[in-house]
Amino acid sequence: MTRRFPLNVCALTIAALFTSTAVFAKTYTASEQANRIAQETIIVDGHIDVPYRVKNRWVDVTKATEDGDFDYPRAVKGGLNAPFMSIYVPASLDNSPESTQLAHQLIDSVEAIVARAPDKFAIAKSPSDVKAQFEAGLISLPMGMENGSPIQGSLDNLKAFYQRGIRYITLAHSQANHISDSSYDLRRKWKGLSPFGKQLVTEMNNIGIMLDISHVSDDAFYQVVEITKVPVIASHSSLRKFTPGFERNMNDDMIKALGENGGVIMINFGSSFVDKAAGQWRKGLTAARKALIAEEGEDSPNLENFEATYREKVPYPYSTLDQVLDHIDHVVELIGIEHVGIGSDYDGVGDSLPIGLKDVASFPNLVQGLLDRGYSRQDIEKILSGNLLRVWQQVEDYAAKHSA
């Protein structure tokens, strides 16, 4: 049967074709200087989804892998030595024991990576761990929890996850949970944070866990920065200036509030986070699928491999390294070099990564791009790790004073 797409996506088709052919014309090559900086500098990536990747389809990332965005050889090549392992729990598991159980299982998987290759990896629970392990030639694996659902309203669970190495918590994910509203959830159940969520902000400050405001609604963000006594992070978010209407990203007023808080936004590499064309393409895909279902029904054989077929007709408009750099530039222009970092979302955004930043071996390309735009080595080191390590240390110091 011939596969058809509705006429109302033709404009998107033409735009995507022009965008796609334009970006593929450029290649990125890192200089010896860029490679040297990448190898000599601690690189912290705020968000990599290896644990959920190996849960869905196990591979040994201590060795080279055929798919995915992360493995040990590619991390070494790119100079990546402190990727935060995302302990991601789907929103559908909120208010269930399975949520907490899954989080512990994913932490187990990170510990298993280290156990298989202690000469390559080590768990990191503090900035000092990251620095010492860098000097020892090990890749640090700090952990952040994506979605606070596993806490299940229990401060005992919060303490247990801290003991196991969780050092930031993304308060919500794709739906409102018992802590916070989500930027993706139109219901706005709590109009920001729940009563427990407000209590949790203070408890996370006191115990020494960074607050991650990626994914939360705008109201929740402002409530967090009002309550917290320490800087917060956005572990994998980009800028709404370049993606109008995409609330998952942060607008300029939020960026300024983050700067006043002393926090850091860590730029997400996913094309839909970087450029509005990718988001429009996704809307076109959804519209075409709905149109096909309306015409042929839910059982249509044309729904099999629908996205792959759609991509053949409407090439995906990948963003570029240069556009990622535009996000970094804009943060620096708004609030200064001290407030931007890297949160790639590798292994979490599928086949949507920018040209020039396709996997963890690509960090020298990012360094080269920063050099080409006039950033000094000192400023590049702040972006690659210094800013995040500064916030992490401030959070630790506050908790230590509180416990004392």
| CA 251 to each of CA 119, 267, 332: distance values in angstroms, whole numbers, following the listed order | 42, 13, 14
Is residue 311 one of the residues assigned to a domain? Answer: no
Range in 11-15, 40-44, 215-219, 313-317 the model is least confident about: 11-15
Query: For the whole model, what pTM was predicted?
Result: 0.93
pLDDT tens readout for residues 46-65: 999 999 999 999 999 999 99
Whether 330 shows a pLDDT value over 80: the answer reads yes
Residue 158 tokens, joined: 């919060």
Output 286 or 7, whichever has higher pLDDT: 286
pLDDT tens readout for residues 232-291: 999 999 999 999 999 999 999 999 999 999 999 999 999 999 999 999 999 999 999 999
Is residue 222 one of the residues assigned to a domain? Answer: yes
Query: d(Cα 26, Cα 23) in Å, to the nearest integer?
Result: 6
pLDDT-derived band at 349 (thresholds 50, 70, 90) equals very high
Is residue 227 one of the residues assigned to a domain? Answer: yes
| CA 93 to each of CA 8, 236, 310: distance values in angstroms, whole numbers, following the listed order | 36, 22, 31
Is residue 9 one of the residues assigned to a domain? Answer: no
Residue 263 tokens, joined: 């926090």
pLDDT-derived band at 328 (thresholds 50, 70, 90) equals very high
Query: d(Cα 291, Cα 330) in Å, to the nearest integer?
Result: 38
Query: d(Cα 123, Cα 21) in Å, to the nearest integer?
Result: 42
pLDDT-derived band at 155 (thresholds 50, 70, 90) equals very high
Range(s) of the domain holding residue 324: 31-275+317-403
Is residue 17 one of the residues assigned to a domain? Answer: no
For the segment 220-231, the average pLDDT, to the nearest whole number, is 98
| Beta carbons of 346 and 360 less than 8 angstroms apart | yes
Q: Which parts of 228-270 fold into alpha helices (H)?
A: 252-261
Is residue 18 one of the residues assigned to a domain? Answer: no
Which residue(s) pair with 44 in the sheet? Answer: 82
Using the CB atoms, write b or e for 148-184: b if 16+ within 10 Å: bbbbbbeeebbebbbebbbbbbbbbbebbbbbbbbbb
Can you give the pLDDT at residue 403? 81
| Beta carbons of 35 and 76 less than 8 angstroms apart | no
Q: Report the amino acid identity of residue 386.
A: G
Whether 23 shows a pLDDT value over 50: the answer reads no
Instruction: Write the CATH number for 197.
Output: 3.20.20.140
Counted domains in the chain = 1
Is residue 185 one of the residues assigned to a domain? Answer: yes
Query: d(Cα 46, Cα 20) in Å, to the nearest integer?
Result: 28
Residue 218 tokens, joined: 């705008």
Is residue 11 one of the residues assigned to a domain? Answer: no
For the segment 54-82, the average pLDDT, to the nearest whole number, is 97
Output 10 or 312, whichever has higher pLDDT: 312
Q: Which parts of 41-189 fold into alpha helices (H)?
A: 50-56, 72-78, 97-116, 127-135, 155-164
pLDDT tens readout for residues 192-224: 999 999 999 999 999 999 999 999 999 999 999
